[in-house]
Structure 1
Amino acid sequence: MSLKRLCTLLAVLSCLSIASAHMQMSWPYPLRSPLDPLTPSELKDYNMISPLDPSGDDYACKGYQYNTPWRPTASYNPGETYNITLAGEATHGGGSCQISLSYDNGVTFKVIKSIIGGCPIALTYGFTIPTTAPSGQALLAWTWFNHEGNREMYMNCAVVDIAGNGRPKSRRAANAALARLPNVYVANLADINSCKTVEMHDVVFPDPGKDVEYGGGMSSAS
């Protein structure tokens, strides 16, 4: 085997090892996902499993919504239930996660599901698209605050299509309903805010929304 082929093989094996040892959203495929067979090789982020920069410079979505061609990887209907799937082994004792939508290119994310405790140990989590969700392309984000380890924020974002729901409503009414949903929780990003999570404590989101799932010994009384 030539030295060039050997180096290439070692690089591929290294990337596979990283992908299997850490956590990332595997479905729907996020922007630049190395798991998406349609992602061009030059755009694949084999470090997808890394947290956001602690400064917050790459919030949201690592900035990929600005420099990556948009291609929806899933289509959803308002009022119906779907799931995200996570991949990897380094769950860091669990933690708390949220699933949220952005219609303004990642400026704001509105929470549609909160998982308090035990996330991402289950690897698959269901969520429901609100019946009032506006139609069109959106960013669907998975965010995670780990239970053990460094105080970090993890975030992967996928481009998705939201279909019209057939109910007579104006775009203004749909946007107003979206605005009433809670904002995604942001912490551990120094230039964004001063919020810090505490190691060995699962985050209890101050406004988790109406769709809440509990795990890791947490409950509505936590």
Structure 2
Amino acid sequence: MLGVQNLLTYALGALLIILLPGPSSLFTLSVAARLGVRAGYRAAAGMFLGETLLMVATAAGLASLLQANELVFAVVKYAGAGYLTWIAVGMIRAAWAMWRRRDDDTAKAATATATGTADATPPPNGRLFRRSLVITVLNPKAILFFLSFFVQFVDPGYAYPGLSFALLAVVYQAISIAYVTVLIFSGTYLASQFRRRRKLSAGLTTGAGALFLGFAAKLATTGN
């Protein structure tokens, strides 16, 4: 179909890959847990757009540029690592504030720091979207991954490989949307638990911040 080989095998492989935790999906989950379903979908939209841009860049040959030019790869890599570190520090600071403060409203305001707001008012519609987008696109390894994964399922003799990449991208994003929807609604359930258990909320927020630091370290130390 459109030059794609073993589409079912590809879909199963994509599902397994999507299920692996990453900074974008973790950010979306944390946003949904703090700010609700709508905010979760705003963050998810940024992730979907970022992934789509990476897939388009892969098809356009950017992967070859990153492989050939170490400077470009390093700039994107360290920018991404720095941004993830900044997000992680915000989460850990929010958790520390929640741990120290007993008033629930004040704790909620502190929690918002993790998603870029300093008070309890809802963030601007575009802020969570932009943060999620930046987290997703500042990962040069993702472009190389899409190239190495997609090419295995494209018929080299097909005359229109762009259509093959497009079909693979649509299937990948359909699976990703279903998975992220589960994450978002799981996050709203967690939010109801957090409201009753401030220490649990602080502990899990700290854990999320630590994971982001781990993602940043992994990205900063990886090679091309």
TM over 0.5: no
- Which of the pair has the greater relative contact order for Cα pairs under 8 Å at 6+ separation? 2
TM-score, normalising length: structure 1: 0.25
User: Could you say which structure has the higher helix fraction?
Assistant: 2
TM-score, normalising length: structure 2: 0.25
